Structure 1
Amino acid sequence: MKILYLTDQFLPQISTGTTKFIYNVVKNVKDKGVKPLIITYSFYSDEEYDKRIDDILIKKYEYKGINVIAIKLFNENINFHTELKEKRMFPLREIIEKEKVDIVHICHPRRIAGIIELLQEIKMPYVITLTDCFLICPKLFLINRKGEICSGSKMGKQCIKQCDDLKLDFNSRYIRAQEILEKAEAIVTPSIFLKETFNKEFKGMDSKVFVRNHGMEFQNIDVNNKIYNDKSEITFGFASAAHYIKGIFVLISAFNDVKGNGKVKLKIYGGGNEELLPILNKNPNVSILGEYNNEHINEIYSSIDVLICPSIWYESYSFVINEAFQRKIPVIASNIGAMAEFVKNGVNGFTFDVGDSEQLSSIVKMIGENPRILNYLKSNIDVSDRNIDSEGNFYVDLYKNIYCKKLIKEDEYTEKKYSLKHIHDKFLGQNSNKNLPFDDDNKSFYYIFDMKLHYLKNRFKEETIKYVIWGASNSGKISKKFIEDKLKNFQLIGYIDKFKKGIMENVPIYSMEEIKNLDFDYAFICTTPGREEAKQKLNELQLKVVDNYLYGYGQN
């Protein structure tokens, strides 16, 4: 499968939590057989682009083995970065069709909403991962023009009242956002909070919204193995853009209240407000260290004992919180949004009322006076389920399901084709007295099985595949007929069965022990009682799983 990833910005030009998510996922699914391509909006000078198609400037490059196409619109209009329509993006159809894209994964709709219009016109299936509130709020963060937290657009009516500094048709924007979500094959959010926020704003989409925490690499990280005692000095850390919405001024104010305590220090990592922060800071134990990149993450977290995330907006996920947890570093965070979802007060960290610097200051003082409490907080931290391989598997399975639906749709299959009578007559014969191995309640099995065969047909269309069927029973016979009907390039060399021997329909039956002597590319497990034993045996032979759709195991 070839998956096109669309985003509003990407590495190396821009580094954010969303770009980190995209890179991690693309790198992982590429190792699982997906062919990725990224199209990103970009901000290079005009002369740095390679070509121009109508009003679109185009630049191709490779980032750490990933093919990227950077685009930029010539003569952007004033609302380009906040609107959800732009037909001048339609000439990109030429690239999408030339690249033979199967599915599109929208990673952020800002600046590329015109491409989403194009996808809908050419009926290209897409999945969307929501990483912030842009489809609700053109400012992304649900913060109004007064710098206050907003509860939502309320179909655009709230925006008209609270953000009249933006000259937008908020009602039309809301309708367009709803169309984008409704036409998505699936919607993924990295937190329960973000799912609930969108379900509240856009009704009727709960059934296709999935929560999947962003994954992280667990190799080559430095875990905090310190054991704290009453004399321990504690270094607190901040690792985000040093901007207003990230709560940087709340943080500075809190530490101005604890100056004079030599056991408590603060390190601020992140660019922004470089000239203002030194003026506001009155604590000599606060170090303002400026911008950093991902290559220095281990070094940064190794230098701190507690992370502080004082954001005054909801935060839809927060990589920094989860990266701290990954290293057994407790977190102090504002008690709203995804921060409150991940940080449990008094369990793996502490929370405080958003914007309340006095509360934050009191927590800092309490930890400075009682460092041993960090040992307890550390013992409750476990984010091992948030690994990138698990997230990659989730998306690969999602792509496969969408891809199979696409193939079925293209072939104009009908429900009639999956009636038991049709299947019985085609594969057992009209005059056969034999029964199918499944009752009418399970006829969807054949529909699903047929979809999976379509997937394999496309995957191996250029190869001759030798295969075995595990299970010399009626299910094995039916599966053989399905495979012969759909996969003309697949050659059956034998059945595998624990109890039977001999020949069935001119095909030899081998024992479990004999499989290691067979030359085959793929194995179909077509037995329910023996499925686990078959999988165990194939794993013992060190056969790599290439698709778990059909419990299929291949030699390569």
Structure 2
Amino acid sequence: MKIALVTAYFYPISSGGTEKYVLSLAKSLIKKEHEVHIITTGTKNQMITYEDLIVHYVNDELSKDLKVLSSKKASDNLDDFTRILAENNYDLAHFHTLTPAFSIFHISAAKSLNLKIHFTAHVPSMTCIHGDLMQYGKYACDGLIQKQRCTACYISKKGLNKPISNIIAKTVNILNYPFSTATVVDTKIENLLELNNLCDKIFLFTNWQKEIFILNGFNPEKISITSQLLDKEIFPQTSVRKEIKNIGFVGRISHEKGLHILIEAFKLANRKDLQLHIAGILNDKKYFKKLKSKTERDTNVQWYLNLSKSEISEFYQTIDILIIPSITYETGPFVLFEAFENNIPVIAHNLGDMEIWKNKGFKIKIYDSTLNLKNCIQILS
């Protein structure tokens, strides 16, 4: 079978969990004797080879066209995307992102060429217009899309509190103005229903994802729970106990990854005998500068930015425990599996399916607040 894996993010232009999964999936499919190409964003009409994979590029969607950004209109790259599909005569298109660059219009175009359509949901924003399944950015949501609640939550991203956001949302929905805000929830519902109709299979990583997708109208028979561990067996856990001196964080430096919570808890714990090592992918410069300034006088906080694959592997050998402070639902995350692979214990926020790994016997401690995380750090030994 000839397969196109479609993603807005891929090496060597970007690096993260989705990129790692798509690369791993491609190699796994090749081992099963499928022919696999990547279609991603970059320099228009360029084609390269990355780790023996053919990678096709179309323009990224960088315009400020509200119709494109709100999924009411296709990106200008749609014709190039459709041409690549037609010229290569693929049997299957497997989408891994739903963004302005590769939207529901691109999935529809692939379907019109009689390709089978698969979709893997990597992030909470698939079903959430706030982007993180955190109501008003503060607490976990059940994921059910509701007009008033979701509109208010979306408006709160402007920095408004819950009561004010609710009042504005009611006014917006009554007046149907501004139109882009008044219809944002309806557009999300329409896109999800269309995604359900177009896809032959939908792959999810967690039980919480499955519950939310079904809650919002997806056909349960199309949904399969898959694993991010495509090229590895479950890691054997050894009982070797190591003295903890170096705490590690690995991931994107962005608000939803909760690095601010980890830094605050680390400073509150006041363990001068411990080191905090941060291996971050620079994603939000303003957020990074704010956190960096908070740690300027902390000689036991070390920053490492945009490390290569080999450097990340070396980084894991220098830490004794990994902390995952994400304030959003995670579909993995990949750093959790990398810690298990390196036999490194983990402390993680209780959102998502983290408890499942603990119940399977992996070395993971769950916390539920900044204060609780501070206490976890205080008693490390």
Q: TM-score range by the shorter chain?
A: 0.7 to 0.9
Please list the CA deviations of residues 140-159 of structure 1 after superposition, one character each: whole Å capped at 9, or x if unmatched: 32245655544335155432
> Which residue number corresponds to residue 7 of structure 1?
7
User: Which residue in 2 is equivalent to 1:105?
Assistant: 94
Seen in structure 2, the aligned counterparts of structure 1 residues 173 and 26 have a Cα distance that, compared at 3 Å, is same
SS in 2 for 1:298: helix
Following superposition of structure 1 onto structure 2, how do residues 372-383 of structure 1 map, counting pairs within 5 Å? none
Aligned to 1:34: 34
Q: Tell me the distance in 2 between the aligned counterparts of 1:124 and 1:268.
A: 43
Q: Indicate if the aligned counterparts of 1:237 and 1:308 stay in contact, CA closer than 8 A.
A: yes
Identify the residue that residue 74 of structure 2 maps to in structure 1.
Answer: 86
RMSD of aligned Cα (Å):
2.8
Structure 2 vs 1, CA of residues 122 and 279 (structure 1 numbering), >3 Å: closer, same or farther? same
Q: Does 1:21 align with 2:21?
A: yes
- Determine which structure has greater relative contact order: mean sequence separation of CA pairs < 8 Å that are 6+ residues apart, divided by chain length: 2
CA distance in 1, matches of 2:75, 2:303: 45
Partner of 1:295, secondary structure, is helix
The residue type paired with residue 118 of structure 2 is V
Number of paired residues? 347
1:320 maps to 2:308: no
CA contact (8 A) 1:224 1:327 kept: no
User: How far apart are residue 179 of structure 1 and its match?
Assistant: 1.5
Larger Rg: 1
The alpha carbon displacement at 1:73 in A equals: 5.5
Q: Which amino acid aligns with 1:292?
A: L
Identical counterparts, % of pairs: 22
Q: 2:257 aligns with which of 243, 246, 261?
A: 246
Q: Which amino acid aligns with 1:195?
A: K
Give the alignment of 1:195-344 within 5 angstroms: 195-203=210-218, 205-215=219-229, 217-218=231-232, 226-228=240-242, 232-262=243-273, 264-272=274-282, 273-281=287-295, 283-344=298-359
Listed as ranges, the gaps of 5+ residues in structure 2 are: 159-179
Asked if residue 66 in structure 1 is aligned to residue 53 in structure 2, the reply is: yes
How far residue 90 of structure 1 moved from its aligned partner, in angstroms, is: 4.3
- Give, in whole Å, the separation in 1 of the partners of 2:62 and 2:14: 21
| Secondary structure, aligned partner of 2:46 | strand
Question: Cα–Cα, structure 1 residues 126 and 14, in superposed 2: closer, same or farther, change >3 Å?
Answer: same
**Structure 1 residue aligned with 2:121:** 130
Following superposition, the deviation at residue 333 of structure 1 comes to 0.5
Counterpart-to-counterpart distance in 2, 1:59 and 1:316 = 31
> Per the alignment, do residues 226 and 290 of structure 1 end up closer, same or farther by CA in structure 2, a change over 3 Å counting?
farther
What is the CA distance between 1:135 and its match in structure 2?
2.7
Partner SS state of residue 257, structure 1 = helix
Do the aligned partners of residues 74 and 321 (structure 1) sit closer, same or farther apart at CA in structure 2, a change above 3 Å counting?
A: closer
Deviation at 1:224, TM superposition (A): 7.8
Contact 2:67 2:73 in 1 (8 A): no
Q: TM-score, normalised by structure 2?
A: 0.82
Instruction: Kindly provide the amino acid, as one letter, of the partner of residue 225 in structure 2.
Output: V
1:142 equivalenced with 2:156 (yes/no) = no
Q: Aligned partners of 1:344, 1:278: CA distance in 2, in Å?
A: 36
Offset of residue 275 of structure 1? 2.6
Q: Tell me how far apart the structure 1 counterparts of residues 154 and 127 of structure 2 sit (CA, whole Å).
A: 13
1:481-496 alignment to 2 at 5 Å?
A: none
Q: How does 1:372-411 map to 2 (within 5 A)?
A: none
Amino acid at match of 1:95: I
Give how far 1:306 is off.
1.0
- Name the SS for the 2:151 alignment partner: helix
Q: Distance in 2 between matches of 1:26 and 1:233?
A: 37
How much has 1:222 moved relative to structure 2? Answer: 12
TM-score, structure 1 as length reference: 0.57
| 8 A contact 1:224–1:329 mirrored in 2 | no
Alignment of 1:439-478 (within 5 A): none
Query: By how many angstroms is 1:287 displaced?
Result: 1.8
CA distance in structure 2 between the aligned counterparts of 1:278 and 1:135, rounded to whole angstroms: 31
Separation in 1, partners of 2:138, 2:73: 27
Secondary structure (helix, strand or coil) at the match of 2:328 reads: coil
Residues 9, 19 of structure 1: 8 Å contact kept: yes
1:173–1:286 CA distance, 2 compared to 1 (3 A): same
Question: Structure 1: 5+ residue runs without aligned partners?
Answer: 43-48, 50-56, 369-556
